[in-house]
Amino acid sequence: MRPSLLDPLFVPVTSLDGVGPKVATLIEKVVPADLTAREARAGDLLFTLPSSIIDRRNRPGIALSAEGAIVTLDVRVDRHQPPPRGNRSVPYRVFVHDDTGEMALTFFHANATWLERSLPVGEHVVVSGRMEWFNGRPSMVHPDHIAFADKAEGLPLVEPVYPLTAGLHAKVLRRAIGQALARLPALPEWQDAELMRRQTFPGFADALRRIHNPADPIDVSPEAAAWRRLAYDEILAGQVSLALVRANVHKHVGRRLQGDGARIEALRAALPYRLTASQEQALTEIDVDMAKPDRMLRLLQGDVGSGKTVVALLAMARAVEAGGQAALMAPTEILARQHFSTIAPLAEKAGLAVAVLTGREKGRERAGILEGLENGSIDIVIGTHALFQETVRFRDLAFAVVDEQHRFGVHQRLAITAKGEAPDMLVMTATPIPRTLVLTAFGDMDVSRLTEKPAGRQPIRTVTLPFERYDELVGRISDALAEGQKIYWICPLVEDSDEVELTSVEERHAALRQEFGSRVGLVHGRMNGRDKDEAMRAFKQGETRVLVATTVVEVGVDVPDATIIVIEHAERFGLAQLHQLRGRVGRGSKASTCVLLYKPPLGETATARLSVLRETEDGFRIAEEDLKLRGEGELLGTRQSGTPGFQIARLEFHADLLEIARSDARLLLTRDPALESERGEAIRVLLYLFGRDEAVRLLRAG
Ligand code: ADP
Ligand code: MG
């Protein structure tokens, strides 16, 4: 249960003054939390951190204020000059002076009563805003702040600037954040006292107050002590929850999975190729883990096309030899079916019974599969989220493989392992994540890496092409088709949108059909499963030769003889995603090309992204570059995991903190596995604050 002292932070933002449903909707666009399943809360506002400040400390006097500068001025009010009656286009001017000169405060569509009240003639006032010089005369249009000189104390001289969205006024957001801060209860300190001293960390509340009420530009930079403190909180919350998951996994004793090797031999004999040295190496590591009585928890990392599937298959066969069953979980139906269609013919030769289970298997077919899993006549099941369902029971699930791991949350990882008696677990990811990120995302998992691609692969030629040359591109595609090549054509969106002018996949499909007729296929996320399958099958077998698609083909889809991929609006995709997409070609022995079609002008980051892609195919290097360009939050898609504050800990600044947090978390749980000590209790508060409730739930379950 959530500690009740956190209640004031878990109220909806609409309970704050000045925040109605409309403002709340706008606030939901800027808070750093996943709001798919809940509304924005006061606590989310605390983690909405400023990106910069407005410095109002400059008080040069009227005559010395530079054009465009933000200044704060002590002035005396001389006279008001309202616009002529009925003429709304002339502004209301209030003339003021100080020792250095005279200026006008200018207001459009002014409320005269309000101006007379805030700027009475003869009064000494402080105004702050942007200085404008026009024809040698200074003025300030709509000052940001106006206060009587004797009440100007409280005027914020350094103001935080928050991410805003159209319609959300800075003042409204600041006021809401101010209220959230005021509701922050006294919390126990969860950080180690010695570490606090060494790092000169302020307390949690102090850190938040300092960042939201900066006294100096330094206060809102990631290097500031206050910022580092919060970054450390975020990282520690992540590490503790991963350590809890891991402890939970290891708590259940595993079993030895060893067999006579007969099925493995049969499988190897059926493979049309030899395994690469990395594949062999990974298999050896997995075999060793499986043979141990401890529970296995291993991450298999390998760039797209490095051949992870066959490694998974051989490992699953080992589990079956040992008398158990195995499950392979894929993030999409297309992928699950693709795995099934590669694995099934091989498995058959080794006498393994394989089934596929997604949301689509229904009725009698489904009942048959469920029965086979329960009575053990099915050895290996390949599926999607459908495998988590309650009705799915195994006779003896001994081994679980999760493909494209980062799409599944910790929850789901646990859900599948709960279906067996402490099954060994292999998670596979094609996103080549730098080591530091493996730790933040997965904690202390063992890692195997496929570092080489199968022999005979040709490098992919990557070119960038501005959209003006579309016709030329179509000409080249026509040539390629004449040579019998297969082409992916990727578009960013499914439907036309008014806001962004993107060619929808359907429009592109229609246009290419005009050129190439029925050889052009279409697949996108809004199609139903059977149609998707059919489109993939037709392309795979060559009935269609151009496949217009959205990013549904991003992950793992395997059509080895596709040699060209065109990515339309390449500037809209992230680096990792572009790399994944490009990996759809270059899977066979023929030379391949990736065309990045873009709409000029390219922004700075987009230019950098596209040139990284042109320079290298090394997924690990691309991941490092991506990290530099974007920060790890986006890279891992942690936004989806719904952890508040995910943006605080930019690892490029705080990599050192990660190492500290790792050992801190491990030590903490060794000494106090149930988090019952005083510090442990405080850590629970931290976990709730950072949305790691699932980790706390594990404690209770334990
Ligand atoms: P990924 O790691 O992206 O999941 P896949 O497992 O889909 O890669 O494999 C990509 C392609 O490479 C498949 O067509 C597969 O049959 C093939 N492949 C896998 N291992 C080898 C190998 N050792 N030699 C040749 N081809 C291989
Ligand atoms: Mg794969």
The answer to whether 563 and 592 have CB atoms below 8 angstroms apart is: yes
Pocket of ligand 1 (CB under 6 A): 273-276, 279, 302, 304-310, 430, 454, 556, 558, 560, 587
Give the full edge-to-edge strand order of the sheet including 325-329.
354-357, 380-383, 325-329, 397-403, 424-429, 297-302, 446-450
Q: Using CB atoms within 10 A of its CB, is residue 252 exposed (0-12), middle (13-18) or buried (19+)?
A: middle
Helix (H, G, I), strand (E, B) or coil at 637: coil
Beta strand pairing status for 325-329 and 380-383?
parallel
* Residue of minimum CA distance from atom 4 in ligand 1: 308
Query: Residue 315: left (phi > 0), alpha (psi -120 to 50), or beta?
Result: alpha
What percentage of the chain has pLDDT greater than the value 70?
88
Dist. CA 263 → ligand 1 center (Å): 20
The answer to whether 687 and 190 have CB atoms below 8 angstroms apart is: no
Q: How many other β-carbons are positioned within 10 Å of the β-carbon of residue 616?
A: 14
Q: Is the pLDDT of residue 436 over 70?
A: no
Pocket residue to mutate for ligand 1, from 268, 300, 310, most atoms within 8 A of Cβ:
310
Dist. CA 635 → ligand 2 center (Å): 19
Q: Is the pLDDT of residue 626 over 80?
A: no
Dist. CA 587 → ligand 1 center (Å): 8
* Residue of minimum CA distance from atom 13 in ligand 1: 307
The β-bridge partners of 460 are 592
Structure tokens at 279: 């594949």
Helix extents (H) in 187-325:
193-199, 204-212, 225-251, 262-270, 277-291, 308-321
Dist. CA 258 → ligand 1 center (Å): 25
Dist. CA 436 → ligand 2 center (Å): 23
Q: What pLDDT digit, counting tens, does each position of 349-398 carry?
A: 999 999 999 988 999 999 999 999 999 999 999 998 888 788 899 999 99
* Residue of minimum CA distance from atom 24 in ligand 1: 454
The answer to whether 512 and 548 have CB atoms below 8 angstroms apart is: yes
The β-bridge partners of 159 are 54
Atom nearest to 275 CA in ligand 1: 23
**For the chain, what is the mean pLDDT?**
86
Phi, psi (degrees; rounded to nearest 5) at 236: -65, -45
* Residue of minimum CA distance from atom 14 in ligand 1: 560
pLDDT the model gives residue 692: 81
Q: How many other β-carbons are positioned within 10 Å of the β-carbon of residue 640?
A: 13
Dist. CA 664 → ligand 2 center (Å): 35
Dist. CA 482 → ligand 1 center (Å): 27
Dist. CA 335 → ligand 2 center (Å): 8
Mean pLDDT of 536-564: 86
Dist. CA 384 → ligand 1 center (Å): 21
Atom nearest to 311 CA in ligand 1: 6
Across 31-40, 129-138, 413-422, 690-699, least confident range: 413-422
Atom nearest to 450 CA in ligand 1: 2
Pocket residue to mutate for ligand 1, from 309, 563, 592, most atoms within 8 A of Cβ:
309
Q: Is the pLDDT of residue 586 over 80?
A: yes
Atom nearest to 583 CA in ligand 1: 3
Q: Is the pLDDT of residue 117 over 60?
A: yes
Beta strand pairing status for 546-549 and 520-523?
parallel
Dist. CA 518 → ligand 1 center (Å): 30
Q: Is the pLDDT of residue 409 over 60?
A: no
CA gap 460, 456 in Å, rounded:
13
Q: How many other β-carbons are positioned within 10 Å of the β-carbon of residue 525?
A: 13
Q: What pLDDT digit, counting tens, does each position of 486-532 carry?
A: 999 999 865 444 444 455 788 899 999 999 999 999 998 778 888 88
Pocket residue to mutate for ligand 1, from 273, 280, 486, most atoms within 8 A of Cβ:
273
How confident is residue 633, by pLDDT bands cut at 50, 70 and 90? very low
Across 44-48, 195-199, 217-221, 590-594, least confident range: 217-221
Ligand found nearest the CA of 585: 1
Dist. CA 9 → ligand 1 center (Å): 50
Structure tokens at 666: 């491990």
* Residue of minimum CA distance from atom 15 in ligand 1: 307
* Residue of minimum CA distance from atom 19 in ligand 1: 307
Pocket residue to mutate for ligand 1, from 300, 401, 558, most atoms within 8 A of Cβ:
558
Atom nearest to 274 CA in ligand 1: 23
pLDDT the model gives residue 432: 61
pLDDT the model gives residue 379: 97
pLDDT the model gives residue 521: 96
Q: Is the pLDDT of residue 558 over 50?
A: yes
The answer to whether 436 and 662 have CB atoms below 8 angstroms apart is: no
